[in-house]
Amino acid sequence: MKKFLIIANWKLNGNFYFINKNINLIKKKIDNLLSFCDLSIAPPYLYISYINNFLKNTSISLTAQNVDIHTEGSFTGEISINMLKDVGVKYVIIGHSERRLYHNEDNNLISKKFILIKNNGLIPIICLGETEKQKEQNQTEKVCIQQINNILENSNINILNKTIIAYEPIWAIGSGKSANINEIEKIILYIKKYIASLDAKIAENIYFLYGGSVNYSNLDIFLKKKIINGLLVGKASLTTENFISLVKKAEKIINSLNRS
């Protein structure tokens, strides 16, 4: 059985005050629950190393919100995969719609990042999802498959082994409106079947996450679907007491369901 995975994506939020106040709380209240799921925190780069010191001897891991495709040199403002390894990162989010939108990242660049992360032994979390317009035009499947194909054009199917795909409808992120659960299930199944048509074993080893306005109140519907192996939580991870309640609720639900 795959362990459920929860990623807390802090985005451009947090500071030393926030971290000092909240990390010990998360450690104290959540770490002992983590036999049922893996928890990873994605703070802004600057704080990764600092937070890592708090998380030693816990099962909570660290996620980076991005990486550059260059490994060293004159690339002002960038962070390399080696630096992420150096500070103890486990997962790297790429292809997030906010990077695509505000930093003009395209499928090609994201594919390069994906391959770089895999080749360096970290785990990519690649975000796929459609805009509202693409949804209206029934383009969702095409948009998601295009990104997968782009990776495959630059590598081969083995590159997808043991990776994480996060389906994140762009219109659902930060909007308070999560996608319809049947639609989420349909899209994830579609992606999985597509990968299975290329290699069934690799498709089985992929984790599928959902992200987009997940919160304490709507958590149940995602957990009840076995095709969803985890959640990417943005806004709802920023109020620590609420986030702790969310993880505790997830634990209760998962323990009560036979998700194997």
Q: Which residues are catalytic?
A: 96, 168
CB of residue 214 vs ligand PGA: minimum separation in angstroms?
A: 5
Residue 52 CB neighbour total at 10 angstroms: 17
CB of residue 83 vs ligand PGA: minimum separation in angstroms?
A: 23
Burial profile 131-146: b = 16 or more Cβ within 10 angstroms, e = fewer: beebbeeeebeebbee
Give the residue, chosen from 5, 6, 8, 9, that forms a contact with ligand PGA under the rule CB under 6 A.
9
Total residues contacting ligand PGA (rule CB under 6 A)?
13
CB of residue 197 vs ligand PGA: minimum separation in angstroms?
A: 28
Give the residue, chosen from 150, 211, 250, 259, that forms a contact with ligand PGA under the rule CB under 6 A.
211
CB of residue 95 vs ligand PGA: minimum separation in angstroms?
A: 11
For residue 136, the SS3 value is helix
Query: For residues 118 and 235, which CB has a smaller minimum distance to ligand PGA in the complex?
Result: 235
Give the residue, chosen from 68, 105, 168, 185, that forms a contact with ligand PGA under the rule CB under 6 A.
168
Is 174 one of the binding residues for ligand PGA (CB under 6 A)? yes
Query: Is 105 within 8 Å of 144 (Cβ atoms)?
Result: no
Query: For residues 219 and 232, which CB has a smaller minimum distance to ligand PGA in the complex?
Result: 232
Distance, in Å, from the CA atom of 211 to the CA atom of 208, rounded to the nearest integer, reads 10
Query: Is 79 within 8 Å of 69 (Cβ atoms)?
Result: no
Query: For residues 199 and 220, which CB has a smaller minimum distance to ligand PGA in the complex?
Result: 220
DSSP-assigned states of every residue in 82-121: HHHHHTT--EEEES-HHHHHHS---HHHHHHHHHHHHHTT
- For β-strands 123-128 and 37-42, DSSP reports them as unpaired
Distance, in Å, from the CA atom of 107 to the CA atom of 26, rounded to the nearest integer, reads 35
Query: For residues 182 and 218, which CB has a smaller minimum distance to ligand PGA in the complex?
Result: 218
Residues found near ligand PGA in the complex (CB under 6 A): 9, 168, 173-174, 211-214, 232-236
